[in-house]
Amino acid sequence: MARIIDEVSRTFSEYLLIPRLTRAEHQSKNVSLRVPVAKFKKGESSALTINIPFVTATMQAVSGSEMAIALARQGGLAFIYCSQPIESQAAMVNKVKTHKAGFVQSDSNLRPDNTLQDVVNKRKETGHSTMPVTHDGSKNGIFLGILTDKDFWEFEDDLSRPVSEFMTAKENVVLGDTGISLLEANQLLQKRKKECLPVLDSEGRLQFLVFKKDYVDHRNNPSELLDSHKRLVVGAGINTHDYRERVPALIEAGVDALCLDASDGYSEFQKEAALWIRERYPDVVIGGGNVVDIDAFRYLAEEAQLDFVKVGIGGGSICITREQKGIGRGQASALMAVAAERDKYCKETGIYIPLCSDGGLSNDTQIIIALAMGADFMMMGRYFAMTDESPTPRVSIGGRIYKPYWGEGSNRAKNWQRYNQGASETGFKFEEGIDGYVPVVGSVKEVLDVTLSKIKAVMCNMGSLTVKEFADNAVLTRISEQSFIEGGTSNVLSLDKDIPREV
Ligand code: MZP
């Protein structure tokens, strides 16, 4: 007969934190959210740490290079999705590693004979208000001038007129030459009181634009995650099928961390892949999973020798694995069980293995509880899919703006390597993920600002200045169904929820 675990499978929303003594030093400005990603011996430091406890899900609708750049700039780490050809994944990794902070390749370019109406259309499409004009409208064409939204009046000027009549011509633009350093470019912008500096090569072709706003942005992002060569740090998902070809290409592209991406990671396939990589590339960080119990954690820690282990099966916002296959475990129960085993393993061996809580975090409170329960960092899909930097287009549905978000186990993603169900390139026999939409919420920086402020505030309530201290100090209580209901407002009509505001 089956072994029955004598415990109900629980989720994060069933718990609350009991505050601990807040001392004078417990202020948000003193809190560090730096956490380890690679395993380390007690007393030593981790070979890879991140400055905020967030990584992106290895998913088509989440983790492209734009997301990786945006998140690394905030201190987190993206795992570029692996359900794509090896060459394109390696190109995305390379784009992040070669991203020259401050030097931007222009995406919105004009020809001199484009009309002002073309400019208005392009601005709506891209959101860019500064557009260089090149002879052929390409990003590396011969530079002729620049047009900004200050150069014409959309509702006054004749929109059929050509760009050449309104642009600031090359002879009147402050320019930089290829080879100029970012410091010199910013100094030029400051001295000449300009917002944008086009950088040209010796033939007069446009190479980059340098913007004053990027300098300001850089000063506002002190948590950027950089490697020892001052390049942004990036991760990549891999599977247990083509790793012999994929991993060398990713390493060549400069990847910093790999993550074996499987819905159920308790397998000999993960062990074989991890050991193969470890033997050839001893310095690269390798994580894997997903697991939900102590046997699977032990296997990946001891046999596969992984650097970090991901916890979570069936909890993802787009996931239907639990209803399709009856596999999974409540995320809080899974995390608490694995975290206790991780701590036991650390006592026995002196080696600390970071845990990543993956999937199903539907609000900031759940993120906080997951950290308290021993997760070192979170992997999130929906949270990042909703931001401007996810690789999907905006769509308007019923007057609201959404972005598409689909599971890797959906027929849209066809990530058959992630699921052990006898599927192949041709498709799934049954889907484990859905295809849907999520509302657009703003930039990665904007959403993280709110989440990180909440985490820091709670850490102060809990008398903690580091994530480790927070988990060690945390005292949690299970709540009744009634206290869950009463957890929101009570006996008050909410201006936001109950009384429609006049617009
Ligand atoms: P969430 O943050 O959107 O709730 O969940 C993201 C996580 O769901 C991913 O990191 C991955 O582990 C998991 N996932 C991705 N696709 C599927 C699926 O199609 C899935 N079932 O479960």
360 C-beta closer than 6 A to ligand 1? yes
What is the CA angle 368-371-374, rounded to 5? 150
Q: Is the pLDDT of residue 264 over 60?
A: yes
pLDDT tens-digit series, residues 344-374 = 999 999 999 999 999 999 899 999 999 999 9
**Cα-to-centroid distance, 246 and ligand 1 (Å):** 22
pLDDT tens-digit series, residues 84-125 = 999 999 999 999 998 877 788 887 899 999 999 999 998 887
83 C-beta closer than 6 A to ligand 1? no
What is the CA angle 327-331-334, rounded to 5? 80
Question: Which residue, by CA, sits nearest to atom 7 of ligand 1?
Answer: 359
Q: What's residue 238's pLDDT?
A: 98
User: Choosing from 73, 231, 382, 418, which is the catalytic residue?
Assistant: 418
319 C-beta closer than 6 A to ligand 1? yes
User: Choosing from 82, 319, 356, 460, which is the catalytic residue?
Assistant: 319
pLDDT tens-digit series, residues 366-422 = 999 999 999 999 999 999 999 999 999 999 999 899 999 999 999 999 888 888 776
**Cα-to-centroid distance, 380 and ligand 1 (Å):** 8
Q: Is the pLDDT of residue 28 over 90?
A: yes
**Cα-to-centroid distance, 293 and ligand 1 (Å):** 18
What is the CA angle 381-411-401, rounded to 5? 50
Could you tell me the two tokens for 349?
A: 């061996």
Q: How many angstroms separate the CA atoms of 194 and 338, rounded?
A: 55
pTM of this prediction?
A: 0.84
* Helix/strand/coil (H/E/C) assignment for every residue in 38-74: CCEECCCCCCCEECCCEEECCCCCCCCHHHHHHHHHH
Q: What's residue 501's pLDDT?
A: 57
Look up 356 and say whether it is catalytic.
Answer: no
59 C-beta closer than 6 A to ligand 1? yes
Q: Which atom of ligand 1 is nearest to the CA of 360?
A: 4
Q: What's residue 106's pLDDT?
A: 84
Confidence of residue 503 (pLDDT cuts 50, 70, 90): very low
Question: Which residue, by CA, sits nearest to atom 17 of ligand 1?
Answer: 407
Contact 238, 306 (CB under 8 A): no
**Cα-to-centroid distance, 11 and ligand 1 (Å):** 16
Question: Which residue, by CA, sits nearest to atom 13 of ligand 1?
Answer: 316
Mean pLDDT of the chain: 93
Look up 418 and say whether it is catalytic.
Answer: yes
Q: How many angstroms separate the CA atoms of 107 and 122, rounded?
A: 10
456 C-beta closer than 6 A to ligand 1? no
Q: Which atom of ligand 1 is nearest to the CA of 321?
A: 21
As a whole-number percent, the residues of the chain with pLDDT over 90 amount to 82
Q: What's residue 127's pLDDT?
A: 74
Q: Which atom of ligand 1 is nearest to the CA of 319?
A: 21
317 C-beta closer than 6 A to ligand 1? yes
Q: What's residue 422's pLDDT?
A: 67
Q: Which atom of ligand 1 is nearest to the CA of 290?
A: 12
Residue 286 main-chain phi, psi, to 5 deg: -125, 120
407 C-beta closer than 6 A to ligand 1? yes
What is the CA angle 177-181-184, rounded to 5? 85
pLDDT tens-digit series, residues 33-83 = 999 999 999 999 999 999 999 999 999 999 999 999 999 999 999 999 999
Q: Which of 77, 367, 408 to mutate to test the pocket of ligand 1 (most atoms within 8 A of CB)?
A: 408
441-455: string of b/e by CB count within 10 Å (b at 16+)? Answer: beebbebbeebbebb
